[in-house]
Amino acid sequence: MTKLSVNINKIATLRNSRGGDVPNVVQFAKDVQRFGAQGVTIHPRPDERHIRYQDAYDLKPEVYTEYNIEGNPIDSFVQLVLNVKPTQVTLVPDAVDAITSNAGWDTIKHKDFLVEVIKEFKQNGIRTSIFVDPILKQIDGAKETGTDRIELYTEAFAHQYGLGNQDAVKPYAECAKLANELGLGINAGHDLSLDNIQFFKEHIPGLLEVSIGHALVAESLYLGVENVIQMYLHKLK
């Protein structure tokens, strides 16, 4: 079964919009695990506009499933991850002013940098994953970095699938096949939702984990958090 990791950034966004501590990020993380989620994901950014660095520390003792911290490996992020020691770190090449993640790594151009960062995390017992576009040469490049896993950037799939183009999954399936052959674990995330998750999962061999935040929180406004998590788990079986 593919694991569901819930990205709780949007809960932090809602909290920050009014100040104070409502909704409580730590309590939400505890609740999604109690409802069946097999992981919690956060993506702190330098401006702390949603998840704050302190949240990463506060969550550490409460996440008893898989704890995944995403981000651009600038010095402050690297130090945060080394201090917290989550289950997994997912490296994302975010620009400082990016609204959300919008591209995978060029694993060939940035090979030396990724090799160095990944080595440091792995020496500290942290599983590594890198955000990649569904391009075969980038999967080959990812293998050369020493990463444990890749995370397929799924925005293009989600957009095209919403337009009725089911063939949009083909490059992802081809990349997954190659990743399996290379011994890379496969994660996926970005714009996956209840509408497209089952189709995507059925076409991606060896999909280990999906990280879902924006859609899951939006769907929960209408259907309830516990119910939505159970719906995802059912579709991921």
Model confidence pLDDT, tens digit, residues 76-115: 999 999 999 999 999 999 765 554 556 799 999 999 999 9
Residue 50 annotated in ligand binding: yes
Q: How high is the pLDDT of residue 99?
A: 46
Beta-carbon contacts of residue 103 (< 8 Å; ≥ 6 apart): 93, 133, 153
Q: How high is the pLDDT of residue 103?
A: 79
- The reply to whether 190 belongs to the active site is yes
Residue of 66, 70, 151, 209 marked active site = 70
- The reply to whether 203 belongs to the active site is no
Q: How high is the pLDDT of residue 94?
A: 75
CATH code (residue 87): 3.20.20.70
Q: How high is the pLDDT of residue 101?
A: 55
Q: What angle do CA 79, 207, 73 make, to 5 degrees?
A: 15
- Asked if 40 contacts 67 with a C-beta cutoff of 8 angstroms, the reply is yes
The size of the chain, in residues, is: 237
Q: How high is the pLDDT of residue 135?
A: 97
- The dihedral over CA atoms of 140, 144, 145, 148, expressed in degrees to the nearest 10, equals 70
Q: How far is CA 210 from CA 52, 96, 100, in A?
A: 22, 24, 17
Can you give the residue range of the structural domain that contains 11? 3-236
Residue 189 annotated in ligand binding: no
Residue 102 annotated in ligand binding: no
Q: Is 2 helix (H, G, I), strand (E, B) or coil?
A: coil
Distance of alpha carbon 107 from alpha carbon 42, whole angstroms:
23
pLDDT digits (tens, 9 = 90+) for 110-149: 999 999 999 999 999 999 999 999 999 999 999 999 999 9
Distance of alpha carbon 119 from alpha carbon 128, whole angstroms:
9
Q: Give the pLDDT band (50/70/90) at residue 1.
A: confident
What H or E segment, with its residue span, contains residue 208?
strand 207-212
Residue of 43, 151, 209, 219 marked active site = 43
Distance of alpha carbon 171 from alpha carbon 133, whole angstroms:
9
Residue 65 annotated in ligand binding: no
Residue of 66, 151, 190, 209 marked active site = 190
Residue 127 annotated in ligand binding: no
Prediction pTM value? 0.95
- Scan for tokens 């770190």, then name that residue: 89
Residue 9 annotated in ligand binding: no
Share of the chain above pLDDT 70, in %: 97
Residue 100 annotated in ligand binding: yes
Residue 34 annotated in ligand binding: no
Q: Quote the number of domains for the chain.
A: 1
